[in-house]
Chain A
Protein backbone atom coordinates (compact mmCIF):
# COMPACT_ATOMS: atom_id res chain seq x y z
CA UNK A 1 0.00 0.00 0.00
CA UNK A 2 2.84 2.37 0.90
CA UNK A 3 4.44 1.93 -2.50
CA UNK A 4 1.19 2.81 -4.29
CA UNK A 5 0.98 6.05 -2.31
CA UNK A 6 4.61 6.74 -3.15
CA UNK A 7 4.02 6.19 -6.87
CA UNK A 8 1.18 8.69 -6.64
CA UNK A 9 2.99 11.40 -4.69
CA UNK A 10 6.25 11.33 -6.65
CA UNK A 11 4.44 12.92 -9.60
CA UNK A 12 3.25 15.78 -7.42
CA UNK A 13 6.61 17.14 -6.31
CA UNK A 14 9.73 14.99 -6.68
CA UNK A 15 9.29 14.24 -10.40
CA UNK A 16 6.59 16.78 -11.24
CA UNK A 17 6.30 17.18 -15.01
CA UNK A 18 7.26 19.35 -16.78
CA UNK A 19 9.19 21.29 -14.13
CA UNK A 20 11.38 18.39 -12.97
CA UNK A 21 10.98 15.93 -15.84
CA UNK A 22 11.41 18.35 -18.73
CA UNK A 23 8.99 16.55 -21.05
CA UNK A 24 5.78 17.56 -22.78
CA UNK A 25 6.83 21.15 -23.27
CA UNK A 26 4.75 21.96 -26.35
CA UNK A 27 1.29 21.83 -24.73
CA UNK A 28 2.77 23.37 -21.57
CA UNK A 29 3.89 26.45 -23.44
CA UNK A 30 1.12 26.69 -25.98
CA UNK A 31 -2.10 26.45 -24.01
CA UNK A 32 -1.15 28.24 -20.79
CA UNK A 33 -2.39 31.68 -21.79
CA UNK A 34 -4.97 31.44 -18.97
CA UNK A 35 -5.39 29.35 -15.83
CA UNK A 36 -8.60 27.77 -17.15
CA UNK A 37 -6.91 26.44 -20.31
CA UNK A 38 -4.14 24.93 -18.19
CA UNK A 39 -6.68 22.99 -16.12
CA UNK A 40 -8.50 21.75 -19.25
CA UNK A 41 -5.35 20.57 -20.98
CA UNK A 42 -4.01 19.00 -17.78
CA UNK A 43 -7.18 16.99 -17.15
CA UNK A 44 -7.40 15.82 -20.78
CA UNK A 45 -3.79 14.63 -20.56
CA UNK A 46 -4.43 12.96 -17.18
CA UNK A 47 -7.35 11.00 -18.63
CA UNK A 48 -5.27 9.72 -21.55
CA UNK A 49 -2.31 8.99 -19.26
CA UNK A 50 -4.32 6.94 -16.73
CA UNK A 51 -6.26 4.99 -19.38
CA UNK A 52 -3.17 4.20 -21.46
CA UNK A 53 -1.25 3.20 -18.31
CA UNK A 54 -4.03 0.76 -17.34
CA UNK A 55 -4.30 -0.81 -20.79
CA UNK A 56 -0.55 -1.04 -21.37
CA UNK A 57 0.00 -2.53 -17.94
CA UNK A 58 -2.67 -5.17 -18.68
CA UNK A 59 -1.13 -5.95 -22.07
CA UNK A 60 2.49 -5.82 -20.92
CA UNK A 61 3.04 -9.57 -21.23
CA UNK A 62 1.30 -9.82 -24.61
CA UNK A 63 2.97 -6.99 -26.54
CA UNK A 64 6.16 -8.25 -28.24
CA UNK A 65 9.19 -6.28 -27.21
CA UNK A 66 10.20 -5.30 -30.74
CA UNK A 67 6.99 -3.51 -31.69
CA UNK A 68 6.19 -2.14 -28.25
CA UNK A 69 6.61 1.56 -29.13
CA UNK A 70 4.25 1.23 -32.09
CA UNK A 71 1.75 -0.67 -29.90
CA UNK A 72 1.95 2.00 -27.18
CA UNK A 73 1.34 4.74 -29.73
CA UNK A 74 -1.78 2.97 -31.06
CA UNK A 75 -3.17 2.59 -27.53
CA UNK A 76 -2.47 6.24 -26.70
CA UNK A 77 -3.87 7.47 -30.02
CA UNK A 78 -7.14 5.58 -29.44
CA UNK A 79 -7.70 7.33 -26.11
CA UNK A 80 -6.77 10.68 -27.63
CA UNK A 81 -9.47 10.21 -30.27
CA UNK A 82 -11.96 9.52 -27.45
CA UNK A 83 -10.93 12.71 -25.63
CA UNK A 84 -11.12 14.66 -28.88
CA UNK A 85 -14.68 13.53 -29.63
CA UNK A 86 -15.91 14.00 -26.04
CA UNK A 87 -14.48 17.52 -25.84
CA UNK A 88 -15.94 18.40 -29.23
CA UNK A 89 -19.36 17.30 -27.98
CA UNK A 90 -19.43 18.69 -24.42
CA UNK A 91 -16.69 21.35 -24.06
CA UNK A 92 -16.74 23.01 -27.47
CA UNK A 93 -15.31 26.46 -26.44
CA UNK A 94 -12.35 24.79 -24.71
CA UNK A 95 -11.91 22.46 -27.69
CA UNK A 96 -11.67 25.54 -29.94
CA UNK A 97 -9.04 27.20 -27.70
CA UNK A 98 -6.84 24.11 -27.29
CA UNK A 99 -7.20 23.39 -31.03
CA UNK A 100 -4.33 21.46 -32.58
CA UNK A 101 -2.88 20.59 -29.18
CA UNK A 102 -5.61 18.04 -28.44
CA UNK A 103 -4.59 15.67 -31.27
CA UNK A 104 -0.99 16.41 -30.31
CA UNK A 105 -1.53 14.75 -26.88
CA UNK A 106 -0.55 11.61 -28.85
CA UNK A 107 3.04 12.78 -29.13
CA UNK A 108 3.23 14.20 -25.60
CA UNK A 109 6.45 12.56 -24.44
CA UNK A 110 5.21 12.29 -20.83
CA UNK A 111 2.57 9.71 -21.81
CA UNK A 112 4.87 7.59 -23.96
CA UNK A 113 7.59 8.03 -21.34
CA UNK A 114 5.38 6.67 -18.53
CA UNK A 115 4.21 3.79 -20.73
CA UNK A 116 7.78 2.82 -21.51
CA UNK A 117 9.36 3.51 -18.12
CA UNK A 118 6.57 2.43 -15.78
CA UNK A 119 3.36 0.82 -17.09
CA UNK A 120 5.15 -1.75 -19.24
CA UNK A 121 7.01 -3.05 -16.17
CA UNK A 122 4.44 -2.81 -13.35
CA UNK A 123 1.02 -4.23 -12.50
CA UNK A 124 -2.24 -2.33 -12.86
CA UNK A 125 -2.64 -0.70 -9.44
CA UNK A 126 0.77 1.02 -9.25
CA UNK A 127 0.32 2.04 -12.91
CA UNK A 128 -2.95 3.78 -12.09
CA UNK A 129 -1.28 5.54 -9.14
CA UNK A 130 1.64 6.56 -11.33
CA UNK A 131 -0.66 7.85 -14.08
CA UNK A 132 -2.83 9.80 -11.64
CA UNK A 133 0.17 11.31 -9.86
CA UNK A 134 1.95 12.35 -13.04
CA UNK A 135 -1.31 13.61 -14.55
CA UNK A 136 -2.21 15.72 -11.52
CA UNK A 137 1.35 17.01 -11.33
CA UNK A 138 1.10 18.05 -14.97
CA UNK A 139 -2.30 19.69 -14.32
CA UNK A 140 -0.91 21.62 -11.33
CA UNK A 141 2.12 22.80 -13.34
CA UNK A 142 -0.05 23.95 -16.24
CA UNK A 143 -2.48 25.71 -13.92
CA UNK A 144 0.32 27.52 -12.09
CA UNK A 145 2.02 28.58 -15.31
CA UNK A 146 -1.32 29.60 -16.86
CA UNK A 147 -2.30 31.59 -13.78
CA UNK A 148 1.02 33.47 -13.67
CA UNK A 149 0.78 34.34 -17.36
CA UNK A 150 -2.89 35.34 -16.99
CA UNK A 151 -2.23 37.58 -13.97
CA UNK A 152 0.75 39.40 -15.52
CA UNK A 153 -0.45 39.36 -19.12
CA UNK A 154 -4.12 40.16 -18.59
CA UNK A 155 -4.52 41.26 -14.97
CA UNK A 156 -7.07 38.52 -14.29
CA UNK A 157 -7.16 35.10 -12.62
CA UNK A 158 -9.66 32.54 -13.95
CA UNK A 159 -11.50 35.44 -15.60
CA UNK A 160 -11.87 37.71 -12.54
CA UNK A 161 -9.83 40.88 -12.19
CA UNK A 162 -7.21 40.62 -9.43
CA UNK A 163 -4.79 43.50 -10.04
CA UNK A 164 -5.21 47.13 -8.97
CA UNK A 165 -7.12 49.38 -11.35
CA UNK A 166 -4.14 51.33 -12.75
CA UNK A 167 -2.27 48.07 -13.58
CA UNK A 168 -1.07 47.93 -17.19
CA UNK A 169 -1.06 44.28 -18.39
CA UNK A 170 2.15 43.05 -20.01
CA UNK A 171 0.64 41.67 -23.22
CA UNK A 172 3.96 39.99 -24.07
CA UNK A 173 3.29 37.37 -21.38
CA UNK A 174 0.44 35.97 -23.47
CA UNK A 175 2.67 35.73 -26.56
CA UNK A 176 5.31 33.00 -27.20
CA UNK A 177 8.30 34.92 -25.72
CA UNK A 178 6.44 35.28 -22.40
CA UNK A 179 5.75 31.54 -22.29
CA UNK A 180 9.40 30.60 -22.79
CA UNK A 181 10.73 33.22 -20.34
CA UNK A 182 8.19 32.31 -17.66
CA UNK A 183 8.87 28.55 -17.88
CA UNK A 184 12.64 29.15 -17.91
CA UNK A 185 12.47 31.24 -14.75
CA UNK A 186 10.19 28.71 -13.00
CA UNK A 187 12.72 25.95 -13.77
CA UNK A 188 15.43 28.14 -12.26
CA UNK A 189 13.28 28.70 -9.17
CA UNK A 190 12.68 24.94 -8.81
CA UNK A 191 16.44 24.35 -8.95
CA UNK A 192 16.94 26.98 -6.27
CA UNK A 193 14.30 25.41 -3.98
CA UNK A 194 15.66 21.89 -4.35
CA UNK A 195 19.24 22.99 -3.68
CA UNK A 196 18.03 24.81 -0.53
CA UNK A 197 16.25 21.63 0.60
CA UNK A 198 19.43 19.62 0.16
CA UNK A 199 21.38 22.25 2.13
CA UNK A 200 19.35 21.62 5.30
Chain B
Protein backbone atom coordinates (compact mmCIF):
# COMPACT_ATOMS: atom_id res chain seq x y z
CA UNK B 1 0.00 0.00 0.00
CA UNK B 2 2.77 2.45 0.94
CA UNK B 3 4.22 1.63 -2.47
CA UNK B 4 1.23 3.23 -4.16
CA UNK B 5 1.20 6.15 -1.74
CA UNK B 6 4.83 6.94 -2.57
CA UNK B 7 4.06 6.63 -6.28
CA UNK B 8 1.17 9.10 -5.97
CA UNK B 9 3.02 11.66 -3.83
CA UNK B 10 6.06 11.34 -6.08
CA UNK B 11 4.07 11.89 -9.27
CA UNK B 12 2.02 14.82 -7.95
CA UNK B 13 4.58 16.81 -5.98
CA UNK B 14 8.18 15.67 -6.43
CA UNK B 15 8.26 14.87 -10.14
CA UNK B 16 5.36 17.12 -11.09
CA UNK B 17 4.83 16.48 -14.77
CA UNK B 18 5.09 20.13 -15.73
CA UNK B 19 7.13 21.85 -13.06
CA UNK B 20 9.85 19.20 -12.82
CA UNK B 21 9.60 17.23 -16.07
CA UNK B 22 8.64 20.02 -18.50
CA UNK B 23 5.80 18.18 -20.25
CA UNK B 24 2.70 19.82 -21.70
CA UNK B 25 3.84 23.44 -21.67
CA UNK B 26 1.94 24.82 -24.65
CA UNK B 27 -1.62 24.24 -23.36
CA UNK B 28 -0.29 25.05 -19.89
CA UNK B 29 0.44 28.63 -20.93
CA UNK B 30 -2.42 28.85 -23.44
CA UNK B 31 -5.24 27.72 -21.14
CA UNK B 32 -4.22 29.46 -17.94
CA UNK B 33 -5.86 32.84 -18.29
CA UNK B 34 -9.37 31.99 -17.03
CA UNK B 35 -10.27 29.66 -14.20
CA UNK B 36 -13.21 27.85 -15.84
CA UNK B 37 -11.12 27.08 -18.96
CA UNK B 38 -8.31 25.79 -16.76
CA UNK B 39 -10.63 23.49 -14.80
CA UNK B 40 -12.14 22.13 -18.03
CA UNK B 41 -8.70 21.49 -19.48
CA UNK B 42 -7.45 19.86 -16.25
CA UNK B 43 -10.42 17.46 -16.16
CA UNK B 44 -10.03 16.58 -19.84
CA UNK B 45 -6.32 15.87 -19.33
CA UNK B 46 -6.95 13.55 -16.35
CA UNK B 47 -9.64 11.71 -18.32
CA UNK B 48 -7.57 11.23 -21.48
CA UNK B 49 -4.23 10.51 -19.78
CA UNK B 50 -5.64 7.67 -17.66
CA UNK B 51 -7.39 6.07 -20.65
CA UNK B 52 -4.43 6.58 -22.99
CA UNK B 53 -1.91 5.13 -20.53
CA UNK B 54 -4.08 2.06 -20.01
CA UNK B 55 -4.52 1.58 -23.76
CA UNK B 56 -0.83 2.06 -24.58
CA UNK B 57 0.16 -0.35 -21.79
CA UNK B 58 -2.07 -3.02 -23.37
CA UNK B 59 -0.64 -2.33 -26.84
CA UNK B 60 2.93 -2.45 -25.52
CA UNK B 61 2.49 -5.67 -23.50
CA UNK B 62 0.32 -7.71 -25.85
CA UNK B 63 1.33 -6.49 -29.33
CA UNK B 64 4.71 -4.73 -29.42
CA UNK B 65 6.70 -6.89 -26.99
CA UNK B 66 5.54 -10.37 -28.18
CA UNK B 67 6.28 -9.49 -31.81
CA UNK B 68 9.52 -7.61 -30.95
CA UNK B 69 8.28 -4.35 -32.42
CA UNK B 70 9.43 -2.08 -29.56
CA UNK B 71 11.12 0.28 -32.01
CA UNK B 72 7.67 1.20 -33.32
CA UNK B 73 6.64 2.36 -29.84
CA UNK B 74 6.48 6.06 -30.74
CA UNK B 75 4.38 5.66 -33.87
CA UNK B 76 2.08 3.04 -32.28
CA UNK B 77 1.48 5.13 -29.17
CA UNK B 78 0.66 8.35 -30.99
CA UNK B 79 -1.78 6.49 -33.26
CA UNK B 80 -3.47 4.84 -30.29
CA UNK B 81 -3.75 8.19 -28.54
CA UNK B 82 -5.10 10.00 -31.62
CA UNK B 83 -7.65 7.26 -32.28
CA UNK B 84 -8.65 7.10 -28.63
CA UNK B 85 -9.19 10.86 -28.39
CA UNK B 86 -11.33 10.78 -31.52
CA UNK B 87 -13.31 7.83 -30.19
CA UNK B 88 -13.82 9.40 -26.76
CA UNK B 89 -15.03 12.58 -28.43
CA UNK B 90 -17.60 10.70 -30.53
CA UNK B 91 -18.72 8.56 -27.59
CA UNK B 92 -19.18 11.54 -25.28
CA UNK B 93 -21.08 13.48 -27.92
CA UNK B 94 -23.59 10.63 -28.32
CA UNK B 95 -23.91 9.27 -24.79
CA UNK B 96 -22.89 11.91 -22.26
CA UNK B 97 -23.72 15.28 -23.84
CA UNK B 98 -23.28 17.12 -20.53
CA UNK B 99 -19.68 15.95 -20.17
CA UNK B 100 -19.08 16.63 -23.86
CA UNK B 101 -20.26 20.20 -23.34
CA UNK B 102 -17.72 20.60 -20.55
CA UNK B 103 -14.72 18.86 -22.14
CA UNK B 104 -15.54 18.94 -25.86
CA UNK B 105 -13.40 21.78 -27.14
CA UNK B 106 -10.33 20.65 -25.19
CA UNK B 107 -10.28 17.08 -26.47
CA UNK B 108 -8.82 17.67 -29.97
CA UNK B 109 -6.09 19.85 -28.44
CA UNK B 110 -5.03 17.03 -26.17
CA UNK B 111 -3.72 14.79 -28.97
CA UNK B 112 -0.73 17.08 -29.33
CA UNK B 113 -0.30 17.64 -25.60
CA UNK B 114 3.05 16.03 -24.94
CA UNK B 115 2.03 15.21 -21.37
CA UNK B 116 -0.23 12.43 -22.70
CA UNK B 117 2.43 10.72 -24.83
CA UNK B 118 5.07 11.54 -22.21
CA UNK B 119 3.23 9.88 -19.34
CA UNK B 120 2.50 6.81 -21.49
CA UNK B 121 6.19 6.48 -22.41
CA UNK B 122 7.38 7.12 -18.85
CA UNK B 123 5.06 4.41 -17.51
CA UNK B 124 6.47 1.91 -20.02
CA UNK B 125 10.08 2.97 -19.34
CA UNK B 126 9.60 2.55 -15.59
CA UNK B 127 8.19 -0.96 -16.26
CA UNK B 128 5.04 -0.47 -14.18
CA UNK B 129 2.37 -3.21 -14.18
CA UNK B 130 -1.16 -2.39 -15.36
CA UNK B 131 -2.55 -1.13 -12.03
CA UNK B 132 0.57 0.90 -11.29
CA UNK B 133 0.41 2.45 -14.76
CA UNK B 134 -3.16 3.57 -14.13
CA UNK B 135 -2.32 4.92 -10.66
CA UNK B 136 0.76 6.72 -11.99
CA UNK B 137 -1.19 8.19 -14.93
CA UNK B 138 -3.94 9.41 -12.61
CA UNK B 139 -1.52 10.96 -10.10
CA UNK B 140 0.66 12.59 -12.77
CA UNK B 141 -2.31 14.13 -14.55
CA UNK B 142 -3.80 15.34 -11.27
CA UNK B 143 -0.45 17.00 -10.61
CA UNK B 144 -0.70 18.64 -14.04
CA UNK B 145 -4.24 19.85 -13.35
CA UNK B 146 -3.23 21.17 -9.95
CA UNK B 147 -0.30 23.14 -11.38
CA UNK B 148 -2.57 24.49 -14.14
CA UNK B 149 -5.20 25.69 -11.66
CA UNK B 150 -2.61 27.24 -9.31
CA UNK B 151 -1.01 29.12 -12.21
CA UNK B 152 -4.39 30.35 -13.45
CA UNK B 153 -5.20 31.63 -9.98
CA UNK B 154 -1.97 33.60 -9.91
CA UNK B 155 -2.43 34.94 -13.46
CA UNK B 156 -5.98 36.11 -12.68
CA UNK B 157 -4.60 37.99 -9.68
CA UNK B 158 -2.00 39.96 -11.63
CA UNK B 159 -4.27 40.57 -14.66
CA UNK B 160 -4.77 44.16 -13.50
CA UNK B 161 -1.29 44.67 -12.04
CA UNK B 162 1.05 47.27 -13.59
CA UNK B 163 3.45 44.88 -15.34
CA UNK B 164 6.15 46.38 -17.62
CA UNK B 165 4.72 46.48 -21.16
CA UNK B 166 7.35 44.22 -22.72
CA UNK B 167 6.93 41.50 -20.12
CA UNK B 168 3.14 41.14 -20.52
CA UNK B 169 1.56 37.92 -21.75
CA UNK B 170 3.59 34.76 -22.16
CA UNK B 171 6.76 36.35 -20.84
CA UNK B 172 5.48 37.09 -17.33
CA UNK B 173 3.57 33.79 -17.48
CA UNK B 174 6.85 31.89 -17.88
CA UNK B 175 8.49 33.84 -15.06
CA UNK B 176 5.51 32.95 -12.84
CA UNK B 177 5.88 29.27 -13.75
CA UNK B 178 9.56 29.57 -12.88
CA UNK B 179 8.78 30.85 -9.39
CA UNK B 180 6.12 28.15 -8.98
CA UNK B 181 8.69 25.53 -10.01
CA UNK B 182 11.08 27.01 -7.44
CA UNK B 183 8.44 26.46 -4.76
CA UNK B 184 7.88 22.88 -5.92
CA UNK B 185 11.62 22.25 -5.79
CA UNK B 186 11.08 22.26 -2.03
CA UNK B 187 9.39 18.86 -2.36
CA UNK B 188 12.54 17.30 -3.85
CA UNK B 189 13.95 14.57 -1.68
CA UNK B 190 10.55 13.75 -0.15
CA UNK B 191 10.34 10.59 -2.26
CA UNK B 192 13.16 9.04 -4.25
Contact = CB atoms under 8 A, between A and B. Distances in A.
Contacts of B166: 188-189, 191-192, 195
A43 interface: no
Contact of B182 (A26, A73, A81, A177): A177
Nearest to B175: A184
A109 B172 CA distance: 21
A162 interface: no
Given A181-B175, A191-B171, A77 B75 contact: yes
Interface residues of A, number: 42
A107 B165 CA distance: 32
Interface stretch (A52-60, A98-106, A130-138, A149-157): A98-106
Tell me whether chain B's interface is mostly helix, strand or loop, or mixed.
helix
Tell me whether chain A's interface is mostly helix, strand or loop, or mixed.
helix
A62 interface: no
A177 B72 contact: no
B181 A187 contact: no
Interface string B65-89: 0000001111101110010000000
Interface string B153-190: 00000000000111100111111111101100100000
Nearest to B109: A109
A106 B182 contact: no
A119 to B, nearest CB: 16
B121 A184 contact: no
Interface string B9-27: 0000000000111111110
14 contacts: A24-B26, A26-B114, A73-B78, A81-B71, A81-B75, A100-B121, A106-B74, A108-B114, A109-B112, A179-B178, A180-B174, A184-B167, A184-B175, A185-B171
